[in-house]
């Protein structure tokens, strides 16, 4: 027969049930009771409703006018349950101001198990928000993945997009990483995220290729021209003019390519930054985010093209426009995943989703 534990905390003082939990981080060995209202929990969670329907009230309690229902939940995650029942009783005063990534995930797993994601999720927004703005507690890919799992289970579209993006930007430009799923539901998500990482690597390489090509095209055969002559034409010897290849575009292109190389953007052999080292002393792999930052910080060199002739292609304009365009694209690009598209199993038009994306 279930017993009322010696220590009972009131979630609600006149609650008609006591949930018995053990394994609280503060006192892992001692079972602690949480006095709750079956009405409040049943409204939010069909699982709780079932549990209470099958539980019997104590018959021999002293001093209790109506004996409480005792529910043995010794196998549940006690810390997460404490937070969950407080949320479901609207006890916002009992909620911690901060929840670490693993705590948020544990709460999400429990809310899912008790089928009360909708009722619980609104209270979690400020924890996601804090984690998003506090990079010290959510900085590593492992912590970020915990938050992604939580956002997925809580159906939090905005933070799901933000944290999958943060995860992608923290990944290597070279290798593929599959995060370790902690629940069956997030298994597919882990694979999808790794796939997204590969796509991001391809997109980024293509962006960089386009920057280089905004210079390299000037070296192509059909752009080389003599000053004031269209490509393929040469000055008439009778005019007595010297045939000089027009250098304006190609000189500019060399300047820009050199600057891209100095900024470690192009070619890929200059990507690795040997001054970066990881916390364990090894060499830090360059990340997708590092490269996006380099492109953002890149300042194109001043190039004076006042000598250009009418057959020049205007490499300065082409390069600057390509650079601006790529920066804007990268700024707007959803590097991570859209929760609605992921759940639908197809990439949908951005307007149909809760998060705006291309």
What are the residues binding Zn ion (CB under 5 A)? 246, 309, 311-312, 338, 340-341, 348, 353
> What whole-number distance in Å separates Cα of residue 341 and Cα of residue 319?
34
At closest approach, how far in Å is the CB of 161 from Zn ion? 9
Report the nearest approach of Zn ion to the CB of residue 303 (Å): 14
Residue placing its CB nearer to Zn ion in the complex, 163 or 311: 311
In the chain, the DSSP E strands lie at 7-10, 17-21, 32-36, 69-72
69/246 with CB nearer Zn ion: 246
Which residue lies nearer to Zn ion by CB, 269 or 346? 346
Cβ proximity to Zn ion, 19 vs 200, nearer residue: 200
Question: Cα 186–45–337 angle (5° rounding)?
Answer: 25
Largest interatomic CA distance in the chain: 121
CA distances from 35 to 31, 85, 154 (A): 13, 10, 25
Distance in Å, CB of 236 to Zn ion, minimum? 18
**Closer CB to Zn ion, 45 or 164, in the complex:** 164
Q: Which is nearer to Zn ion, 80 or 312 (CB)?
A: 312
What is the distance between the alpha carbons of residues 139 and 136, in angstroms, rounded to a whole number? 5
Q: In the bound complex, what is the minimum distance in angstroms from residue 349's beta carbon to Zn ion?
A: 8
Between 33 and 336, whose beta carbon lies closer to Zn ion?
A: 336
Closest distance to Zn ion from the beta carbon of 307 (Å): 8
Cβ neighbours around 290 below 10 Å, total: 18
Shortest distance in whole angstroms from residue 231 CB to Zn ion? 9
DSSP per residue over 16-57, as a string?
SEEEEE---SSSTTS-EEEEE-HHHHHHH-HHHHHHHHH--B
What CA–CA distance (Å, rounded) separates 55 from 17?
10
CB of 24 to Zn ion, least distance (A): 40
Dihedral sign for Cα 153, 154, 156, 159, please: negative
């Amino acid at each position: 027969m279930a017993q009322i534990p010696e220590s009972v905390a009131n979630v609600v003082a006149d609650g008609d049930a006591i949930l018995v939990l053990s394994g609280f981080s503060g006192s892992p060995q001692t079972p602690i009771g949480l006095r709750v209202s079956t009405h409040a929990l049943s409204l939010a969670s069909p699982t709780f409703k079932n549990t209470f329907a099958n539980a019997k009230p104590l018959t021999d309690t002293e001093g209790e006018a109506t004996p409480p229902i005792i529910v043995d939940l010794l196998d549940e995650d006690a810390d997460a349950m404490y937070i969950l029942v407080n949320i479901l009783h609207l006890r916002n005063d009992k909620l911690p101001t901060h929840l670490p990534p693993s705590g948020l995930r544990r709460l999400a797993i429990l809310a899912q198990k008790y089928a009360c994601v909708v009722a619980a999720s609104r209270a979690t927004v400020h924890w996601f928000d804090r984690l998003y703005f506090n990079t010290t507690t959510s900085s590593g890919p492992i912590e970020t993945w915990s938050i992604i799992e939580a956002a997925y289970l809580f159906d939090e579209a905005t933070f799901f997009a933000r944290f999958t993006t943060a995860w992608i930007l923290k990944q290597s430009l070279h290798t593929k990483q599959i995060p370790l799923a902690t629940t069956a539901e997030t298994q597919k998500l882990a694979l999808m995220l790794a796939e997204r990482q590969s796509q991001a690597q391809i997109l980024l390489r293509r962006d960089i290729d386009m920057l280089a090509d905004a210079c390299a095209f000037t070296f192509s055969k059909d752009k080389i021209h003599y000053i004031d002559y269209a490509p393929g034409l040469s000055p008439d010897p009778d005019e007595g003019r010297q045939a000089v290849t027009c250098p304006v575009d190609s000189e500019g292109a060399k300047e820009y390519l050199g600057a891209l190389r100095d900024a470690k953007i192009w070619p890929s052999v200059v990507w690795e930054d040997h001054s970066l080292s990881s916390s364990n002393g090894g060499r830090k792999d360059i990340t997708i985010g590092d490269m996006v930052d380099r492109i953002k910080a890149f300042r194109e060199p001043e190039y004076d093209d006042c000598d250009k002739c009418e057959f020049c292609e205007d490499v300065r304009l082409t390069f600057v426009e390509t650079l601006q365009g790529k920066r804007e694209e990268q700024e707007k690009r959803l590097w991570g995943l859209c929760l609605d598209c992921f759940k639908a199993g197809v990439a949908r038009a951005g307007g149909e989703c809760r998060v705006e994306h291309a």
